[in-house]
Structure 1
Amino acid sequence: MHWDIFCRVIDNHGDLGVCWRLACQLATQGDRVRLWVDDGAALQWMAPAGQPGVEVIDWRDPDAIGSAVAAAAPDVLIEAFGCDPAPELIAHFARRSGAGGRKGAWINLEYLSAEPYVERLHGLPSPVFRGPGEGLTKHFFYPGFTERTGGLLREAGLVEARAGFDRTAWLAAQGIAWHGGPVWPLFCYEPPALRALLTTLKDASSPAQLLVAAGRPAAAVRAALQAPGLRRASDALPITWLPALTQPEFDCLLWSGDLNFVRGEDSLVRALWAGAPLVWQIYPQDDDAHHVKLEAFLDWLAAPPSLRRFHRIWNGFEDGALPVPDAATLAEWRDAVQAARARLLAQDDLATLLRRFVAQKS
């Protein structure tokens, strides 16, 4: 089967990360995938080795579009996160679907949420009445956390790889000096309580080792360290500044964590598969819709009250001192995450459900 996946990079690399994982999973199952992206620069560090079966194409290149129009149209067109693919390619897909024989499937891959509307809207048709795709029907495909949604990305062998992971060896291979204490990977935007977290580390008798991801997380931490009370202590804090990591190495980072701070969509899913306690910084929205989205996720997670409060303060929804999780609290958080992971592992993964859906609609 031939898939065309369209991705527009907005910011933070999350959209591209999801699309790349999906493309790789489809390709490893024997399909041909073209990933059309308007800015694939992040793949240079995210996936420098590429993936057999996946062709990355700059959809701003008119020659690439012309070549695609001259070739056979794909069996499946995936419009990731409402990104509006090039009209010439939609028209080409429409001609294929209108030429008789097996129809192509046009999928609008949506953002991840635990809100109730996801189950209601997943799989619904959206007829196209105008434009180059006139006469076709898109279908909404919603990733999600329940059996009535499109599931989550999960590669074959992921659970086994996680179970066989050697934290000591991986940290040593990264040149990270680890002395056996707790490890807290930090992948965030600019959380309101970041300064409070660093102050907690500074004042702890046996502080956790903070592994700070490159990019916005590192910039946010460096800015927070300029605050009074932290500037002089910054050199003594147990902070490791990480380089940009490939997707497999980022998974290993989360497998190393005793408490994983993650952000956005892709890293949240990877933290769930890691099975360690997690804190999620949700992508902020101007209308505060992210408040509802976060609470829906915490409800699905069956998060204990202490984890809910930590999330609300971390995300700036609630005022107050950032609570310091002790061993018993972290164990409670870990139990919640691992129970949620077990529920997810009992369900089919996103790629499997997507294939099944496409087979029904083609």
Structure 2
Amino acid sequence: MSVHHSNPLPPHWDIFCTVVDNYGDIGVTWRLAKQLASEYGIPINLWVDDLLSFSHILPLLNPAKSQQEFNGVNIFHWENPIKIEYEAGAVIIEAFACELPSQVKSIIGQLHIQPDTQTPIWLNLEYLSAEKWVDGCHGLPSTQPNGVKKWFYFPGFSPKTGGLICETQLFKQRDQWQADPKHKLALFEQLGLQGINAQDRVISVFSYETPALTALCELWQASSTPIHALIPKGRSLHSLSSLLPCAIADLMPGQQFTLGNLTIHILPMTDQNDFDRLLWSCDFNIVRGEDSFLRAQWAAKPFIWHIYPQEDDYHLVKLQAFMQIYCDNLAPEIATTWSEVNSAFNCGDTNSVVMHWQQLNSVSLPLTHHAIKWPINALNDADLASRLVQFVNNC
């Protein structure tokens, strides 16, 4: 891409995001925007179509305001057409194949044909996948109808991909948090969760609907030691209506229900920092989508990934690809047990998920050791933001 510096673009970057499935896409995009602003000093304009859903993970956000600033990021309500005057930044990112507004594409096209004018670098930030084909597709250009090249940026687990979102100080903060049990107990109290002792087993649940979750909760009721399941209002609870004493709509954060040796706690929604701390504080995490999936890995705890269901069960291909690289250095019996639990949970296989969950107990120590080492290996020496900045500098 030729860049003419006689008429430079403003130094800011534009990131466009449409909110899908409430928190997944915006969760990833918001983390990236914050990191680019704080660690690289890049002015970020973040355009989001659904500020109400966004406010669930950024509680101070006012969904009625068209423009506001948090964490050094300018947040705009993305309306079609854009109602405020738009000035293209040096980099324009469409997150997860969202379609840029026609007026933005028009402005990019006009800048492209003007002599002595810099053309914005146009990137499509794709979904995270562990599949091997990602290596060959990352960084490829596609010439658009207006003549501008759009570059495909694929996050991933190999050095040939765009990397994984991880803030510079995250692992240090996690280790300090996990070094003292008083931190998790203080967090549980802050979240309104009662009766959890430092030695109790605590499991966070942020899944889609599945009968496998019902089967696990019924198993946990018969546990020989206390188990606490921390579950926010939302899709996970729809699988547990038969176990709850009231309608899901009537549940309030802080409520808890004891069923045998299982206590179900209703979690309040948290911002991203507290969600990270929640994952750090639990013994096992059941997560979904992309953002939570990656944060569970950075928590250095064993987890189940409930992947978003796709047509023709293609999500199971993605799951298999990830399990293969996650289990690369694991002993076969541990790898098999962990993989079978994940597969059964995703397939809704109640008998299989119970059987393999019971087998997890015998491999919990080496699985935990693996979970602690995994984040360092997965980062491959460079996180997504640093690789992204390098990619832009090389364009």
Same fold (TM over 0.5): yes
Whether the 8 Å contact between 2:214 and 2:239 is mirrored in structure 1 is no
Question: For residues 106-141 of structure 1, what are the alpha-carbon distances to aligned partners after superposition, in whole Å with 9 as ceiling and x for unaligned?
Answer: 10100111001110100011111x2xxx10011110
Give the 3-state SS of the residue equivalent to 2:239 in structure 1: helix
Question: For residues 278-307 of structure 1, what are the alpha-carbon distances to aligned partners after superposition, in whole Å with 9 as ceiling and x for unaligned?
Answer: 110010002211111000000010161000
**Aligned residue number for residue 156 of structure 1:** 168
Structure 1 residues 179-328: aligned runs within 5 Å: 179=197, 180-223=199-242, 225=244, 234=259, 237-302=262-327, 304-316=335-347, 320-321=351-352, 322=354, 323=356, 324-328=358-362
Give the 3-state SS of the residue equivalent to 2:312 in structure 1: coil
Percentage of identical aligned residues: 37
Whether the 8 Å contact between 2:111 and 2:118 is mirrored in structure 1 is no
**Aligned residue number for residue 353 of structure 1:** 387
**Aligned residue number for residue 333 of structure 1:** 367
Supply the distance in 2 between the matched residues of 1:261 and 1:89 (Cα, whole angstroms). Answer: 39
1:261 to 1:113, Cα distance in 2 relative to 1, 3 A: same
- Counterpart of 2:139 (choices 123, 129, 148) is 123
- Counterpart of 1:147 (choices 130, 142, 159) is 159
Give the 3-state SS of the residue equivalent to 2:79 in structure 1: coil
Whether the 8 Å contact between 1:3 and 1:34 is mirrored in structure 2 is yes
1:202 Cα shift?
1.1
**Letter in structure 1 aligned against 2:22:** N
Give structure 2 stretches of 5+ with no counterpart: 1-10, 62-69, 178-182, 246-256
Farther off after superposition, 216-225 or 303-312: 216-225
Question: For residues 23-57 of structure 1, what are the alpha-carbon distances to aligned partners after superposition, in whole Å with 9 as ceiling and x for unaligned?
Answer: 11111131111111211212223113462331222
**Letter in structure 1 aligned against 2:337:** S
1:122 to 1:284, Cα distance in 2 relative to 1, 3 A: same
1:345 Cα shift?
3.8
**Letter in structure 1 aligned against 2:172:** E
Supply the distance in 2 between the matched residues of 1:97 and 1:334 (Cα, whole angstroms). Answer: 52
- Counterpart of 2:120 (choices 97, 104, 110) is 104
1:203 Cα shift?
1.2
Supply the distance in 1 between the matched residues of 2:317 and 2:79 (Cα, whole angstroms). Answer: 36
**Aligned residue number for residue 87 of structure 1:** 102
Q: Give the TM-score of the pair, scaled to structure 1.
A: 0.90
**Letter in structure 1 aligned against 2:266:** W
**Aligned residue number for residue 47 of structure 1:** 58
Farther off after superposition, 191-200 or 337-346: 337-346
1:160 Cα shift?
1.2
1:85 Cα shift?
1.1
Whether the 8 Å contact between 1:94 and 1:136 is mirrored in structure 2 is yes
1:233 to 1:244, Cα distance in 2 relative to 1, 3 A: closer
1:174 Cα shift?
2.2
Give the 3-state SS of the residue equivalent to 2:211 in structure 1: coil
Supply the distance in 1 between the matched residues of 2:97 and 2:360 (Cα, whole angstroms). Answer: 42
Supply the distance in 1 between the matched residues of 2:349 and 2:263 (Cα, whole angstroms). Answer: 28
Give structure 1 stretches of 5+ with no counterpart: 227-231
Supply the distance in 2 between the matched residues of 1:220 and 1:40 (Cα, whole angstroms). Answer: 28
Supply the distance in 2 between the matched residues of 1:148 and 1:346 (Cα, whole angstroms). Answer: 10
Question: For residues 313-362 of structure 1, what are the alpha-carbon distances to aligned partners after superposition, in whole Å with 9 as ceiling and x for unaligned?
Answer: 1111757332225543222322332332120244211011011101111x
Whether the 8 Å contact between 1:73 and 1:96 is mirrored in structure 2 is no
* Count of equivalent residues: 348
Query: RMSD of the TM alignment (CA)?
Result: 2.1
Supply the distance in 1 between the matched residues of 2:77 and 2:223 (Cα, whole angstroms). Answer: 49
**Letter in structure 1 aligned against 2:46:** L
1:285 to 1:292, Cα distance in 2 relative to 1, 3 A: same
Whether the 8 Å contact between 1:301 and 1:337 is mirrored in structure 2 is no
Farther off after superposition, 196-205 or 99-108: 99-108
Question: For residues 150-174 of structure 1, what are the alpha-carbon distances to aligned partners after superposition, in whole Å with 9 as ceiling and x for unaligned?
Answer: 1111112111110111222222332
Give the 3-state SS of the residue equivalent to 2:85 in structure 1: helix
Kindly indicate whether residue 67 of structure 2 is the aligned counterpart of residue 67 of structure 1: no
Kindly indicate whether residue 38 of structure 2 is the aligned counterpart of residue 38 of structure 1: no
Give the 3-state SS of the residue equivalent to 2:161 in structure 1: coil
Q: Give the TM-score of the pair, scaled to structure 2.
A: 0.83
Supply the distance in 2 between the matched residues of 1:182 and 1:5 (Cα, whole angstroms). Answer: 40
Give the 3-state SS of the residue equivalent to 1:108 in structure 2: strand
